[in-house]
């Protein structure tokens, strides 16, 4: 303790406030209270001198608080004691006369100091914020500025000492925010505004924007999350959308409109590949690296989505997922649904649904179907039904009964629409109807065999489909030819009664489909096409249905002139082998059929080896997946 007090005495001399020798000796022999009292006295003298027009001592105090590249122990100790003295002297501070001192303090970056300085600085910030309302915003801005490290610290973030410092800073910042929120009830409202206004733009360096969002998500799940959490999540989703729509596809996708929508799945990769040396995952990673390694915004989006996925996992473990999903649904309806260039951000909703299919999964589907039926804007309705179709087709975690329920609701809507129409083909006038019909066919292309395997479902769906497709509105003539052709092919395999007068054009799209798709090309909108972000993909892939998995189950029947009956075996190809589920032909109840089929489907691995893609061979002559572009404007 005596050594400490000698250092304090030396520091006070540095500030130009000399102590008498006998006072210093006395301080060394007595307790710290005396030293603190004297220090507070001299700090107050310096503050008073600035008001009285004698700035010398005040300037020396400002210098102590100023930045210094050489933080020797003496300098650090002086800074700590002065900060503590100022904490006890906030009543002497004047926001006008002491502006330079307050500015120096609030510009301090905790990333440059150890925990002793952090503790003293946070104590002063709390004292300022709780003493006068004029300091609240300044203190909150200072804390938010410490969400991110200075540029000079970025290189240390992957090192052990950098990781340690990051944890210390974040811990101090959030404890201080919580303390201020308890003492100043309106501060969370002001904090929301400051955080959203200071949120880094999309061109900010990746480590900085990641740490900022990490702090936002920590607030969302923290002690003041009930007051600021919704705003934090909405702002994060907005930033994901901003990054998403900034990623251009023009240099990535090669258009070939002679190929069908289902022939252009992600697994159908371009270029020569040694199948013997690379499995499907390696090929996928190779493709992603080829096109996204130089796209900085794609990499930022990927990292931010991983951070968001991990946060959703934490919310599930802590029992908060349903509450958080309310905010995600709000964000989806306000921004994602109407962002026609969105390619990846919507997978946040997809992943949240996979964590809780019974609640979140159903609420998402209900929201989409409700939007489709009730929205006043045709484009929003078409976008909603495209999302619904893509979700029902791609979500592996959805039971067949769930898919069948919404498919029937969609068919009923189409049937009612047909009953109220007497005219013929008119893509622009009936664009919502054609969008719904295309959605129905798209879902069945992925789910036809499993849905029709249940007799009760088959009988109800078959009647609706036949009436809709034979109506004078002629959806088979207007919807995307590639989807129509695949739907009819699979309908033949499963012996579903549909019109057989469709003439294949071998084209991806037609003038009629472009007409109902409109300027936004919503006829080409498949929002849950495979996720091409490398790190995010590992969260989505286990819960995702790929076209090659579905196609493989029909390939053995494609050349069978007799088709496939309900009593035939259902074969799903798995990695390197097949799995047969035989139908014993016994009469079973509707619920028993669904429960048993869902149980069997959940046991299956539906990821085939490369050699099984698209009928057992990899087509190296195919182009890049031009359909994987929920961005219709990229056309």
- Write out the DSSP string of 119-148: HHHHHHHHHHHHH-GGGHHHHHHHHHHTTS
Q: Mean pLDDT over all residues of the chain?
A: 78
Question: What pLDDT is attached to residue 287?
Answer: 58
pLDDT at position 628, please?
35
Tokens 């994602």 -> residue = 336
The model's pLDDT over 500-547, given as tens digits with 9 standing for 90+, comes to: 665 555 555 567 767 656 666 666 788 999 988 989 999 999 999 998
Question: In whole angstroms, what is the distance from residue 600 CA to residue 584 CA?
Answer: 14
For residue 330, is pLDDT > 90?
yes
pLDDT band at 263 (very low <50, low <70, confident <90, very high): low
Residues contacting 512, CB < 8 A, separation 6+: 425, 427, 477, 478
Nearest to 315 by CA among 352, 364, 286, 365: 352
> What's the confidence (pLDDT) of residue 359?
97
pLDDT of residue 259: 47
Q: What's the pLDDT score for residue 34?
A: 43
pLDDT digits (tens, 9 = 90+) for 133-191: 999 999 999 999 999 999 999 999 999 999 999 999 999 999 999 999 999 999 999 99
pLDDT of residue 342: 86
Is 252:265 a contact under the CB 8 Å cutoff?
no
Give the residue with greater pLDDT, 65 vs 197: 197
**3-class SS of residue 380:** helix
Q: Mean pLDDT, to the nearest integer, of 102-111?
A: 94
Over pLDDT 70: what percentage of the chain? 70
Lowest mean pLDDT among 250-259, 325-334, 550-559: 250-259
The pLDDT, as a whole number, for residue 557 is 57
Average pLDDT score over residue span 442-463: 90
Percent of the chain whose predicted confidence (pLDDT) is above 90: 51
- Which of the four pLDDT bands, split at 50, 70 and 90, describes residue 327? very high
Predicted model pTM: 0.80
Q: CB–CB of 407/461 below 8 Å?
A: yes
Q: Which of 4-13, 225-234, 433-442 has the lowest mean pLDDT?
A: 4-13
603 token code pair: 């046991």
Top-confidence residue, 375 or 36: 375
pLDDT given for residue 288 in this prediction: 61
What's the CA gap between 18 and 42, in Å, rounded? Answer: 9
Report whether pLDDT(64) > 50.
Answer: yes
| 316 Cβ contact list (under 8 Å, min separation 6) | 355, 356
Neighbours of 626 (CB within 10 A): 20
Residue 276 has pLDDT above 70, yes or no: no
Whole-number pLDDT of residue 551:
73
- Sorting pLDDT into bands at 50, 70 and 90, what band is 339? confident
Region 357-380 average pLDDT:
96
Residues 170, 295, 384, CA angle at the centre, nearest 5°? Answer: 85
pLDDT tops 60 at residue 587: no
- Which pLDDT score is estimated for 509? 57
| Residue 519 and residue 489 in contact, taking contact as beta carbons nearer than 8 Å | no
């Amino acid at each position: 303790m005596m050594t400490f007090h000698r250092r304090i005495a030396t520091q006070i001399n540095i500030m130009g406030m000399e102590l008498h020798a006998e006072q210093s000796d006395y301080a060394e022999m007595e307790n710290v209270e005396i030293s603190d009292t004297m220090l507070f006295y001299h700090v107050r003298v310096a503050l008073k001198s600035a008001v009285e027009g004698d700035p010398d001592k005040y300037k020396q105090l400002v210098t102590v608080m100023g930045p210094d590249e050489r933080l020797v122990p003496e300098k650090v100790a002086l800074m700590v004691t002065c900060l503590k003295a100022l904490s006890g002297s906030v009543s002497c501070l004047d926001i006008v006369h002491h502006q330079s001192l307050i500015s120096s303090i609030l510009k301090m970056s905790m990333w440059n100091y150890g925990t002793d300085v952090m503790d003293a600085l946070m104590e002063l910030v709390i004292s300022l914020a709780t003493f006068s309302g004029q300091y609240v915003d300044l203190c909150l801005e200072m804390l938010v500025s410490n969400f991110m490290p200075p540029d000079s610290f970025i290189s240390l973030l992957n090192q052990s000492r950098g990781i340690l410092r990051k944890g210390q800073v974040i811990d101090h910042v959030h404890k201080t925010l919580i303390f201020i929120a308890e003492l100043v009830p309106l501060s969370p409202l002001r904090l929301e505004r400051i955080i959203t206004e200071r949120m880094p733009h999309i061109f900010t360096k990746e480590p900085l924007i990641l740490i900022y969002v990490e702090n936002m998500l920590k607030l969302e799940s923290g002690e003041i999350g009930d007051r600021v959490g919704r705003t934090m999540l909405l702002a994060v989703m907005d930033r994901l959308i901003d990054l998403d729509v900034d990623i251009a596809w023009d240099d990535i996708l090669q258009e070939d409109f002679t190929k069908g929508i289902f022939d252009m799945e992600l697994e159908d990769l371009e270029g020569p590949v040694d199948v013997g040396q690379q499995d499907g995952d390696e090929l996928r990673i190779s493709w992603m690296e080829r096109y996204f390694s130089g796209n900085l915004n794609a990499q930022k989006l990927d990292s931010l989505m991983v951070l968001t996925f991990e946060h959703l996992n934490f919310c599930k473990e802590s029992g908060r997922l349903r509450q958080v999903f309310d905010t995600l649904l709000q964000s989806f309806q306000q921004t994602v649904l109407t962002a026609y260039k969105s390619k990846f951000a919507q997978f946040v909703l997809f992943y949240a649904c996979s964590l809780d299919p019974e609640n979140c999964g159903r609420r998402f589907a209900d929201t989409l179907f409700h939007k489709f039926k009730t929205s006043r804007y045709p484009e929003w309705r078409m976008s909603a039904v495209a999302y619904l179709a893509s979700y029902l087709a791609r979500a592996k975690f959805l039971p067949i009964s769930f898919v069948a329920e919404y498919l029937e609701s969609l068919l009923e809507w189409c049937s009612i629409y047909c009953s109220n129409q007497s005219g013929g083909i008119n893509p622009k006038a009936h664009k919502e109807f054609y969008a719904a019909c295309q959605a129905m066919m798209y879902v069945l292309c992925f789910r036809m065999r499993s849905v029709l395997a249940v007799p009760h479902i088959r009988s109800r769906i078959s009647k609706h489909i036949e009436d809709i497709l034979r109506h004078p509105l002629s959806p088979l003539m207007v919807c995307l030819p590639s989807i129509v052709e695949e739907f009819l092919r699979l309908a033949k395999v499963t012996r579903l009664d549909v019109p057989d007068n469709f003439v294949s054009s071998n084209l991806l799209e037609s003038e009629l489909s472009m007409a109902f798709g409109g300027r936004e090309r919503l006829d080409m909108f498949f929002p849950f096409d495979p996720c091409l972000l490398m790190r995010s993909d590992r969260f989505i892939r286990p819960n995702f249905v790929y076209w090659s998995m579905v196609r493989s189950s029909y390939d053995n029947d494609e050349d069978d002139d007799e088709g496939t009956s309900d009593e035939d075996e259902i074969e799903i190809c798995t990695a390197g082998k097949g799995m047969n589920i035989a139908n014993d032909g016994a009469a079973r109840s509707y619920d028993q059929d669904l429960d048993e089929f869902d149980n069997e489907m959940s046991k299956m691995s539906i990821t085939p080896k490369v050699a099984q893609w698209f009928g057992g061979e990899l087509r190296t002559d195919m182009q890049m997946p031009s359909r994987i572009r929920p961005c219709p404007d990229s056309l």
